[in-house]
Amino acid sequence: MARIDELRLMAKIARMYHTQRLRQNDICQRLNIHQSTVSRVLKRAEQEGIVRTIVSLPAGTHTDVEEALQTRYGLDEAVVVDCLDNEDQISHDLGTAAAFYLETTLGPGEVIGISSWSAALLAMVNAFHPGQRKPTQVVQILGGVGSPNAQVHATQMTRRLADLVGGSAVMLPAPGVVGSPEAKKVLMKDKFFREAVDLFSSITLAIVGIGATQPSRGLASSGNVFSPQELARLAAKGAVGDICLRFFDQTGNPVITDLNDRVISIELDQLRKTKRVVGVAGGQRKLMAIRGALLGKLINVLIVDRSTAEQLLAAEEPRLRAVPEVRKKGAVSRA
């Protein structure tokens, strides 16, 4: 316990610094003491409880939940958003939050990979406010050729995002699912197809939706889906969700079937090697899929609604198979 004269000095300096807003140099001159003494006394004032820091969270912010998600699932960052319990509204609100995240963290020279067929990612592009343009490339990482309306959706996402960030768009001119492995082999010979696929290993930031085994309305209408019988086969093998139509089980391990040979998209192992993978997804229907993606380290940034976030924190720990740690860790600086 400090002596009363020490406590008196702590209280005086703390009041001058925190209440009167004097700089440490001014305090030094008034009290005729060294700056190192001022710094030391201010630190002691906190230890003695004379100064207490209180952070009052604004309504609609959930920093405590975000930090708990980061700790529980080893995320670099989590963004938790208040949403109404409605899939369309969740997609809109998460997309808006994702736009702000991208605006504030996008660095120069990034190679961005973006998935097709996500309502949340389309909302993100629509909500994006371009600031200083940072030339980069935007690569489509899931085949976007399908029904006419759906193809416009995929093209709009990739090309418009490239325009907004001042970069160039690299399209993946293929369906998300082809009819046979042979058809995929034919596509792989196409020059423009290879241009996109060869860039997958150079992606520094991937922005992806996370799908449940039952496809969303947008994906189902695109024609880039498996049949109900094929989806049932995947579920029987333990699939709980997908990223870019690459299916995984409840612990994030890939579910490998012959159907995988018909998918045109980035591989899950390639995602794990990507420095930053942002998953934008929420809602009860996708809970198991989001959790699988987290446990499998398929993403390291999650943008999610509060209800789903709380359920992710309440879930029991499963028994996990080892997942290789290949992604480079590091904090993301905000511009």
The CATH number linked to 156 is 3.40.50.1360
Residue 120 lies in a domain: yes
Q: How many CB atoms lie within 10 A of CB 233?
A: 16
Q: Are residues 146 and 241 in the same domain?
A: yes
Closest CA to 162 of 134, 181, 185, 141: 134
Q: Are residues 240 and 184 in the same domain?
A: yes
Q: Are residues 42 and 72 in the same domain?
A: no
Residue numbers in the chain where pLDDT is lower than 70: 1-2, 56-57, 132, 145-153, 215-225, 318-335
Residue 186 lies in a domain: yes
Residue 57 lies in a domain: no
Closest CA to 92 of 102, 107, 82: 82
List all residues 6 or more positions away from 259 whose beta carbon is below 8 Å from its beta carbon. Answer: 226, 230, 233, 234
> Structural domain of residue 134, as residue ranges?
63-314
Q: Are residues 148 and 275 in the same domain?
A: yes
Contact 178, 226 (CB under 8 A): no
Q: Are residues 131 and 237 in the same domain?
A: yes
Domain containing 37 — which CATH number? 1.10.10.60
Q: Are residues 71 and 185 in the same domain?
A: yes
Closest CA to 265 of 322, 329, 219: 219
User: What's the structural domain count of the chain?
Assistant: 2
Residue 56 lies in a domain: no
Alpha carbon 146 to its chain centroid, in Å, reads 27
Q: Are residues 145 and 90 in the same domain?
A: yes
Q: Are residues 24 and 124 in the same domain?
A: no
CA atoms within 13 A on the CB side of 319: 0
Q: How far apart are CA 154 and CA 202, in angstroms?
A: 21
Q: Are residues 80 and 21 in the same domain?
A: no
Burial 38-77 (b: 16+ CB within 10 A, else e): beebbebbeeeebbeeeeeeeeeebeebbebbbeebebbb
How high is the pLDDT of residue 99? 94
Residue 9 lies in a domain: yes
Closest CA to 280 of 90, 72, 85: 90
Q: How far apart are CA 265 and CA 199, in angstroms?
A: 12
How high is the pLDDT of residue 334? 44
Q: Are residues 295 and 159 in the same domain?
A: yes
Residue 324 lies in a domain: no
Closest CA to 41 of 20, 57, 18, 70: 18
Q: Report pLDDT digits (tens) over 115-142.
A: 977 889 999 999 998 876 777 899 999 9
Residue 331 lies in a domain: no
Q: Are residues 159 and 305 in the same domain?
A: yes
How high is the pLDDT of residue 333? 43
**9: phi > 0 → left, psi -120 to 50 → alpha, else beta; which?**
alpha
Residue 335 lies in a domain: no
Q: Are residues 185 and 273 in the same domain?
A: yes
pTM tops 0.75, yes or no:
yes
* Start-to-end CA span in the chain (Å): 44
